[in-house]
Amino acid sequence: MKDVAARAGVGLKTVSRVVNGEPGVTPETERRVQEAIDALGFRRNDSARVLRKGRTASIGLVLEDLADPFYGPLSRSVEEVARAHGALLINGSSAEDPEREQELVLALCARRVDGLVVIPAGDDHRYLEPELKAGVATVFVDRPAGHIDADVVLSDNYGGARGGVAHLIAHGHRRIGFIGDMPRIHTAAERLRGYRAAMEDAGIPVAGSWMSLGVTDPERVRRAAEDMLTGPDPVTAIFAGNNRVTVTVIRVLAEQARRVALVGFDDIELADLLQPGVTVVAQDAADIGRTAAERLFRQLDGTLVNPERIELPTRLITRGSGEFPPAD
């Protein structure tokens, strides 16, 4: 900028004015400055600008895994909102590791992002207290924050799972299996709770062998599914606690002789093209992301003050696999 000023034969501040489109510059002077800018290939250094102004016009997004198809659309909709507010998006994956989450979040705070959208991996977020006090807007997504009072946007995991399981019960099933992630993960716990509630509503006692928790890698999901299909009290339907589980269960069911019903939590691509189509409890990732991001920017506006918990509804999409009667 100094160089531009020198070349144009004007003061520093005048260049600054031109760069920022501020008023109070003669067209003639502006032309000279613009010329110098072009000649030197000058571009404003936003780091210095940030340092001076205090706002970075960027927000951080910490999620579990960018490669997961659930987070792609979510990330995209957050970006879209950020863009509408002239902000850039910095994101990182925690890989479901609380320590890595904290490391990422603090790195983002050191960059002085204006706000944070966090899909929590850990369950204690007190480390964020100083940041919140310092005015970093924060919205948690998909799972609530631990031990701090903050905005959170999530799906109705409990209601969705309960509805999905009730759907199976309505089609005559009583022996229904549940395969889900570790209950220390909030979504997994809520979905399990929904499963239990639906079973209880129908007066069906749940056998321990019907539930498989903390199972996530394909090999173990496969074993879990096979076990509950061939065990002493074999299930006639399975409720899959997330999209990765659903995919593996589909593979297992395809190999079975008898027809086993399936409802999965989270939609999966091409679910309608499979034989049978896969019935799912779908959450709208894009909507979740948009809602969270909009709330974030309202915090930044100062429009918002009190942390709130926003639960978005899920939608049962019937495609065939959840509508088989039990085949005992």
Q: Which stretch binds its own copies (CB under 8 A): 75-83, 182-190, 198-206, 291-299?
A: 75-83
User: Which member of 247, 304, 312, 317 binds its own copies (CB under 8 A)?
Assistant: 247
Q: Which of residues 182-211 bind its own copies (CB under 8 A)?
A: none
Number of residues this chain uses to bind its own copies (CB under 8 A): 52
Which residues have C-beta within 8 Å of that of residue 263, sequence separation ≥ 6? Answer: 164, 165, 167, 168, 237, 238, 239, 240, 279, 280, 281, 316, 321, 322
Contact pick of 2, 26, 43, 328 for its own copies (by CB under 8 A):
43
Residue 66 Cβ vs its own copies, minimum distance, rounded to whole Å: 4
Query: With CB cut-offs between 5 and 8 Å by kind, which of DNA, its own copies, none does residue 29 bind?
Result: DNA
**Which candidate, 154, 253, 38, 273, places its Cα nearest to that of 263?**
253
* Residues with Cβ within 8 Å of residue 35, at least 6 apart in sequence: 8
Shortest separation between residue 226's beta carbon and DNA, angstroms? 55
> What residue ranges bind DNA (CB under 7 A)?
1-2, 9-14, 16-17, 19-20, 23-26, 28-29, 42, 44-45, 48-49, 51-53
End-to-end CA distance of the chain: 79
Provide long-range contacts, Cβ within 8 A and 24+ apart, for 268-274: 268/69, 268/243, 269/69, 271/317, 271/319, 272/319, 274/250, 274/321
Measured on CA atoms in the order 101, 106, 111, 114, is the torsion positive or negative? positive
Distance CA 113, CA 108 (A): 6
The DSSP code for 217 is S
Stretch that binds its own copies, among 85-93, 137-145, 206-214, 224-232 (CB under 8 A): 85-93
Q: Is 66 in the site for its own copies (CB under 8 A)?
A: yes
Closest approach of DNA to the CB of residue 298, in Å: 23
The residue within the footprint of its own copies, chosen from 22, 45, 84, 308 (CB under 8 A), is 45
Angle formed by the axes of helices 71-84 and 285-301, to 10°?
Answer: 30
Supply angle C-alpha 226, 231, 234, rounded to 5.
Answer: 90
* Shortest CB 29 distance to DNA, Å: 3
Tell me if residue 325 falls in helix, strand or coil.
coil
133 makes contact, choosing from its own copies, DNA, none, with CB < 5 to 8 Å by partner type, with: its own copies
Output the smallest distance, CB 243 to its own copies, in A. Answer: 10
Which residues from 98-157 bind its own copies, rule CB under 8 A?
A: 106-112, 129-131, 133-134
Binding to its own copies in span 251-270, by CB under 8 A: 251, 254, 268-270
Q: State which residue, 130 or 214, has the beta carbon closest to DNA.
A: 130
Q: Find the binder of its own copies among 12, 88, 170, 182 (CB under 8 A).
A: 88
Residue 317: partners with Cβ closer than 8 Å, 6 or more residues away: 267, 271, 279, 280, 281, 282
Site residues for its own copies per CB under 8 A: 41, 43-48, 50-51, 56, 58, 65-69, 71-73, 75-76, 79, 83, 88-93, 106-112, 129-131, 133-134, 247, 250-251, 254, 268-270, 273-275, 286
